[in-house]
Structure 1
Amino acid sequence: MKNGTEISSNLSNNMRVCVKKNNGLMEKFSYEKLLKSLIMVEAPLFESNKIVSDAVFSIYDGISTKEIKKVVYNLLAEIDEDVANKYLANTALKVRTSRDKIEPFDLAKIANTLIQETGASQERAFEIASDVWKELKKLTVEYLTAPMIREIVNTKLLEGGHEDLRSKYTRLGIPVYNITSLIENGSRDNANMIHNPESVHKYVADEALKQYALLHMLPSELADAHMSGDIHIHDLEFFAGRPLNCMQHDIRTFIQYGLKVDGTGDHTSVAGPPNHIETLMNHTGEIMLAAQQNMSGGQGMSLWNVFVAPFARGLSYTDVKQAVQMLVYNLNMAYAARGSQVPFTSMGLEFGVPKFLQDVTAYGPKGEMVGTYGDFEDETRLLQRAFTETLIEGDSEGKPHLFPNTIYSLRKENFKSEFEEDLLRVHELSAKFGTSYFDNMLPDYRGNMANYMGCRTCLQDNWTGDWDTDCLRTGNLAYVTMNFPRIAYQSRDELEVFELLDSYMDLAVEALNLRREQGLKCLNDYNLLPFLKQDVEEDIYYRIENSTMSFGFVGINEMLQSLFGTGIEDKDSNRFGVKVVQHMNNRANELKKETGLRWSVLQTPAESTAYRFATLDKEKFPTKSILQGNDANYYTNSSHVPVNADVSLADKIKIEEQYHPITAGGHIFHAFMGESYSDPNALMSLTKKIAQKSDIGFWAYSSALSFCINCKTLMKGLNNKCPTCGEVDDVEWYDRITGYVQQVGRAKSASGGWNAGKRQELVDRRRFEDN
């Protein structure tokens, strides 16, 4: 037994040492934390103090948690083997589960899954689980995985002569039970997917590829950081074979050179340069669909009506609108993207030809030069009108066209009286369906060009300074999201906030560099992305060297509440929030200089991540976690004001506009409007104020809608019953999920595409009324 002086000296020294966690992060050694881990497994207090005191003599700076746990286990086993086993199961043996979580080993969970999935009796299930535990104790691995445990269970089932149980418990990429559940019930991970055979295939394949990325492609510290919820590495299912995210197309390429939808022309028919507007409309849809096979995210086309304008020369408005209608229906009816989705598309429209394009060479029918785009002002405006009117009309049943996400660029000259009618028409679309977006080009931080893809990811001409190079034929390569509330829960002061933030960003940099390396391999070595690699003027179509790698974040509001007791609505707290994001932005700029690559910060479109982080933190930090929602929990998305905050629209703008100039990788402002804002003139007046008097870069007016499938009545608000025919079972809800408008599901049931966290957020949303 060490004397008191020795223990005191070692405790003092070890207060200064740091421990390396499984996710690669360092934290200060804590005597109390180690003691608590023993008390949690019901080790007697006296023996626990003795064990920790003895263990202190083995602690050194940089020791791993794994080494500490081994020392404690050995000391505890000398006193009580049963308690030592319990300690091992709860602390040393960690399991990476199929739910993207890291959990302590729990023998009861094996028994319960055997009962649930195979129908085994409780006695038999716990007998098998105990045999599995005896095997697992012998292993010297950093972590267990659900597939590893399942295989050992299956071995024990075979040894015991239980082939009937093993056939039900076996794993086919994912467990048989999970596949059965997918077939019967579907999934809510992606609100843009319906329940059908293709979506089942996608989910099964996704699960296998996620496991491949976590076990084979990512170092263990990155996999642990993702699964524990420190960070979220998006699109793991696409990490290996489809590592590139969103893209902005340049339709001029296909106007000049024609279309090879497979990228080579070896396996499909090849189309030459289009000669008619109808052909070009068809090609537009095919480009989006073909690229979707190579990309994991959304497809965008900026300046679309400007580049298409030469094809409208000499045509009547009726002919132009008919061609546009063909495109819109094509984009909404091509159920051929991943998992039987329509391609996730965005269309950037201009109210006129921007000044920087006035003298740029225009290409028209047969790919020939036809003057400059400034010569086609009237046709540009005609196409915008046709697109907007087509969207206002909706489909044949009166429902909104959900794609493409239609983005209207607002430039200083667009607020002249000659554009008043065009602006009003777009606000009729906003008032009716809430599907239009606005890209504000007036703030000082803007250049000539900024385009958005999908929910909010953005490219601006701030990379080389050339609008073409910076904004077209490239996109967002990937992004990693950081759990801001968790940083606050683990920090004692502001200094530790930035230390932890830097550690999280280090992890994100490593993950994003790996993703980029895989993208280069898929493009150049594996020839896995032929559409993106097709030849264009002695170059390949996709400019990967210009693509962005972005740092995302969730939960600034909850971070501030944890640190200061007040959220983003408080000026002093919000000042620190801006400081945190500016810190990220500064780090991104430093990385640009160091690596020559395009790093940026974005507000994550956290459809599932805000729900996942909150769920994990509720378990990990039960006394510290600050959560939104009652029935289901979630964090406030990125740097937004909480959806239920009692804040005026004007104050919400003042709070959130501070973040748009420092999130160049993408951002959005949500105005959740009430029924009284259905007046297009009121919305247009609001647009002028936002564009001319704020730094908001991108926004949308979101209106909750209900649609009666029985009598085809469209209603404002979330209604449980149709006022026309009295229908209650077949009333569909619509609203904006993170960036795009999508079906929520049936009003009467919880079924539908939105996960539990997003459905709770929908209920919590405060609507702005015109008063």
Structure 2
Amino acid sequence: MSAGDTCQSRSTHRFQSIHKHTNQQQLDQEKLMKSLDDIVDGSDQDLMQENANVDGRSPMGIMGKMASESARWYAMHHLLTAEAREAMASNLLYPHDLDYYATGTTTCCQIPLGQMLRGGFNTGHGHMREPKDIKSAMALASIILQANQNQQHGGQAYPMFDYDLAPYVEKTYIRHCGVLEQLPLSEPNQVESLAWQWTERDVYQACEAFIHNSNSMHSRGGGQVPFISINYGTDTSRFGKLLVKQLLLATQAGLGNGETPIFPIQIFKLKSGVNFDEGDPNRDLYELALETTAKRLFPNFAFLDSPFNAQYDDGTPESEACYMGCRTRVMGNVNGKETALGRGNLSFTSLNLVRLSLLAGDVEHFFSMLDSLMDVAERQLLERLQFQSKKRAKDFSFLMRQGVWRGSEHLAPDEALVDVLKQGTLGVGFIGLAEALTQLVGSHHGQSESSHELGLRIIRHMRKRMDETAERTGLNFSLIATPAEGLSGKFVKKDRIDFGNIAGVTDRQYYTNSYHVPVYYSLKAFDKIRIEGPFHELCNGGHITYVELDGAVVGNIKALDRLVRAMAEHQIGYGSINHPVDRCRTCGYQAIIHSNCPVCEAPETNIERIRRITGYLVGDMSKWNRAKQAEEQERVKHR
């Protein structure tokens, strides 16, 4: 072939590539317009309810969804590389929150509440000075969450809620003592006794208001309430303990008509010597937490004694492991102090393990393809970080300018975020380990020990790759057990079209989240805990294990305690216990209600049924997409 022929061949190939890309872009644009039409007429339930925390049919929900789909199209064709687009088109890879890519914002953050309350903060409409009592402090805690939610696309949390608010409980007590000392009281100790009673009342009311605010204040143009998590349980001071006690009691009481609060997600931190054993100073709070989760499904439990959490504990509250949302964990840091405080996830991208297994055919080919796909994911995350790092502190007036993100308080308005963002994490996630194992060896990890070992081998390999990438790049790469809400249905839908209906693999409307044993597989609660336990250490970017109970547990707190202790024994990092929580909207009767209300005979359609999906509570399953509705319907109870 002559040089001219070679040049012509290359030119032709380049023209074909451009033509192919142009055609794909045109097809995607047509798909976008179809999506916008579906949003306007509300005909696509899965599209409208990708996020169950958003009222997709409200005016703001519709406008937000239209903007989301348009922003996703822009990111696909103007920000992602051809390699990443190809992996997405092949149904192998999914960058989460692609609609927020162009904004350059981060996913989530553990907010340093104490620091912000002490120094005060500015929401953009004036400075909020340090509060003088617990009611003001918790009101400002709500304002911080609402202001910050507009600056990032994921959840947010307070990592040490009790420690941060205890000083304001003490201020409240001291103020009451000062008032009472001016009164002619008959008994010398009446001042302390009455001041404590008044403080208890004020703390309860402050907690009650915080819970109500968490479920009513709206962000993002009124489209949703903030995703909120709070961690607590290890402050042994008199004032920290009072805060947790009143918070749990207010949670038990519920909202105005007795509804179970959806937010905040509450996480009780368990630690031997503090609250987990007989004689521990906060043992009473643990027992109250069990009573509360029996009635309201929260709090969940974080296990600080698990070795991968305990390794960071230097005896200070800032070093305690904590969690966010349905599983996110941020602790290790190659670029600074190993703490969650003021840090979060930058972005994460999930891999479709089921698709890989369908393409590979055997185990060794699977690992080879997994390595190649992880290369693509790592490059895509680095490209997104590069884009985020060009943003300036002034682009995030609250998140960065108010010092929410660690070290950002020292930035000038025009300074780039590159050095500050290095504190955050980059996550690679995965979905469908169970279905991938079934495709590769004929059974999932809940059915056989050999499949379990293969599952651990796969996830160990992925974690090793993340550790190597962190060392090579000097960035906090981590492995996260993906909390798939809309993705579980998206992946399987296309795979079924391409590969057909395969029993145990593509025959349901959803893929199983991360490393979980399939929800439809019957086994004992303790076996589920034992099987999933080893995956927690491997998924250092986030993990969770839950068990599904059948029947009321309010009268059987000892059973809950046994389950929590089983989680601790099997080195679970983060766990929760699901059980039915039903309430009649007409008369308020609460129990397990199988059909109509047994008290007022209200129809079944008027029964609120609180369930946990992807880590979040919901009382109306119509807010979820069809994949998650199918998953909830197929769940079996763990004996």
Superposed, which structure 2 residues align to 1:480-499 within 5 Å? 480-499=349-368
Say whether 1:474 aligns with 2:322: no
- The answer for the alignment partner of 1:684 in structure 2 is 561
The letter for the 1-side match of 2:385 is: R
Say whether 1:445 aligns with 2:305: no
Say whether 1:191 aligns with 2:68: no
The letter for the 1-side match of 2:49 is: R
Say whether 1:244 aligns with 2:106: yes
Task: Check the 8 A contact 1:435/1:741 in 2, yes or no.
Answer: no
- The answer for the alignment partner of 2:484 in structure 1 is 606
Superposed, which structure 2 residues align to 1:101-140 within 5 Å? 140=19
The 1:301/1:141 distance shift into structure 2, 3 A limit, reads same
The match for 1:254 among 111, 116, 137 is 116
- The answer for the alignment partner of 1:141 in structure 2 is 20
Higher Cα Rg: structure 1 or 2?
Answer: 1
State the alpha-carbon separation in 2 of the partners of residues 463 and 430 from structure 1: 36
Say whether 1:206 aligns with 2:75: no
Q: Deviations 1:625-675 (Å, cap 9, x if unpaired)?
A: 743665xx1111100111121211111111100100111100000111111
The letter for the 1-side match of 2:153 is: S
The DSSP-based 3-state class of the residue aligned with 2:267 is strand
Q: How far is 1:198 from its partner? A: 1.0
Q: How far is 1:248 from its partner? A: 0.3
State the alpha-carbon separation in 1 of the partners of residues 381 and 583 from structure 2: 42
Q: How far is 1:688 from its partner? A: 2.4
- The answer for the alignment partner of 1:282 in structure 2 is 139
The 1:711/1:183 distance shift into structure 2, 3 A limit, reads farther
The match for 2:40 among 160, 167, 179 is 179
The 1:150/1:552 distance shift into structure 2, 3 A limit, reads closer
The 1:186/1:225 distance shift into structure 2, 3 A limit, reads closer
Q: How far is 1:579 from its partner? A: 0.9
Task: Check the 8 A contact 1:173/1:207 in 2, yes or no.
Answer: no
Q: How far is 1:378 from its partner? A: 0.8
Superposed, which structure 2 residues align to 1:360-399 within 5 Å? 377-399=237-259
The match for 1:456 among 299, 305, 327 is 327
The letter for the 1-side match of 2:625 is: N
Say whether 1:307 aligns with 2:164: yes
Q: How far is 1:281 from its partner? A: 0.9
Q: Deviations 1:50-86 (Å, cap 9, x if unpaired)?
A: xxxxxxxxxxxxx99x96998xxxxxxxxxxxxxxxx
The DSSP-based 3-state class of the residue aligned with 2:390 is helix
Q: How far is 1:486 from its partner? A: 1.1
The letter for the 1-side match of 2:373 is: Y
State the alpha-carbon separation in 2 of the partners of residues 422 and 535 from structure 1: 33
What is the aligned residue count? Answer: 580
Q: Deviations 1:421-452 (Å, cap 9, x if unpaired)?
A: 32221111111121221000112222322111
Say whether 1:634 aligns with 2:510: yes
Q: How far is 1:465 from its partner? A: 7.9
Say whether 1:544 aligns with 2:421: yes
- The answer for the alignment partner of 1:347 in structure 2 is 230
State the alpha-carbon separation in 1 of the partners of residues 370 and 537 from structure 2: 20
Q: How far is 1:270 from its partner? A: 1.2
- The answer for the alignment partner of 2:522 in structure 1 is 646
The letter for the 2-side match of 1:649 is: A
Task: Check the 8 A contact 1:325/1:387 in 2, yes or no.
Answer: yes
The match for 2:538 among 651, 659, 662 is 662
The DSSP-based 3-state class of the residue aligned with 1:240 is helix
Deviates more, 1:506-515 or 1:589-598: 506-515
State the alpha-carbon separation in 1 of the partners of residues 159 and 545 from structure 2: 20
State the alpha-carbon separation in 1 of the partners of residues 227 and 624 from structure 2: 17
Task: Check the 8 A contact 2:94/2:350 in 1, yes or no.
Answer: yes
The match for 2:575 among 678, 699, 711 is 699
The letter for the 2-side match of 1:491 is: A
- Percent identity at matched positions? 26
State the alpha-carbon separation in 1 of the partners of residues 402 and 138 from structure 2: 22
Task: Check the 8 A contact 1:243/1:516 in 2, yes or no.
Answer: no
TM-score normalised by length of structure 2? 0.85
Q: How far is 1:597 from its partner? A: 0.4
The letter for the 1-side match of 2:244 is: Q
Deviates more, 1:674-683 or 1:536-545: 536-545
State the alpha-carbon separation in 2 of the partners of residues 330 and 352 from structure 1: 24
- The answer for the alignment partner of 1:519 in structure 2 is 388
The 1:768/1:140 distance shift into structure 2, 3 A limit, reads closer
The 1:235/1:149 distance shift into structure 2, 3 A limit, reads closer
The DSSP-based 3-state class of the residue aligned with 1:549 is strand
Q: How far is 1:310 from its partner? A: 1.1
The DSSP-based 3-state class of the residue aligned with 1:722 is coil
- The answer for the alignment partner of 1:617 in structure 2 is 495
Task: Check the 8 A contact 1:672/1:701 in 2, yes or no.
Answer: yes
Q: How far is 1:499 from its partner? A: 1.2
State the alpha-carbon separation in 1 of the partners of residues 535 and 381 from structure 2: 23
Query: Unpaired runs of 5+ in structure 1?
Result: 1-62, 71-91, 93-138, 152-169, 263-267, 354-376, 746-751
State the alpha-carbon separation in 1 of the partners of residues 220 and 411 from structure 2: 23
The 1:405/1:463 distance shift into structure 2, 3 A limit, reads farther
Q: How far is 1:709 from its partner? A: 2.3
- The answer for the alignment partner of 1:764 in structure 2 is 634
The match for 2:470 among 592, 600, 606 is 592
The DSSP-based 3-state class of the residue aligned with 1:735 is strand
Task: Check the 8 A contact 2:270/2:301 in 1, yes or no.
Answer: yes
The letter for the 1-side match of 2:399 is: L
State the alpha-carbon separation in 1 of the partners of residues 246 and 352 from structure 2: 43
Task: Check the 8 A contact 1:193/1:339 in 2, yes or no.
Answer: no
Q: How far is 1:182 from its partner? A: 6.7
- The answer for the alignment partner of 1:553 in structure 2 is 430
TM-score normalised by length of structure 1? 0.71
The DSSP-based 3-state class of the residue aligned with 1:438 is strand
The 1:486/1:279 distance shift into structure 2, 3 A limit, reads same
The DSSP-based 3-state class of the residue aligned with 2:470 is helix
Say whether 1:582 aligns with 2:460: yes
Structure of greater relative contact order (alpha carbons < 8 Å, 6+ residues apart): 2
The DSSP-based 3-state class of the residue aligned with 2:139 is helix
The DSSP-based 3-state class of the residue aligned with 1:479 is strand
Deviates more, 1:439-448 or 1:394-403: 439-448
Q: How far is 1:171 from its partner? A: 8.1
Task: Check the 8 A contact 1:703/1:716 in 2, yes or no.
Answer: no
The 1:184/1:638 distance shift into structure 2, 3 A limit, reads closer
Q: How far is 1:403 from its partner? A: 0.5
State the alpha-carbon separation in 1 of the partners of residues 73 and 468 from structure 2: 33
The match for 2:207 among 320, 324, 329 is 324
The 1:585/1:172 distance shift into structure 2, 3 A limit, reads closer
Q: How far is 1:495 from its partner? A: 2.2
State the alpha-carbon separation in 2 of the partners of residues 659 and 512 from structure 1: 23
The 1:249/1:175 distance shift into structure 2, 3 A limit, reads closer
Q: Deviations 1:318-349 (Å, cap 9, x if unpaired)?
A: 11111111211111110234652111000001
- The answer for the alignment partner of 1:573 in structure 2 is 451
Task: Check the 8 A contact 2:156/2:324 in 1, yes or no.
Answer: yes
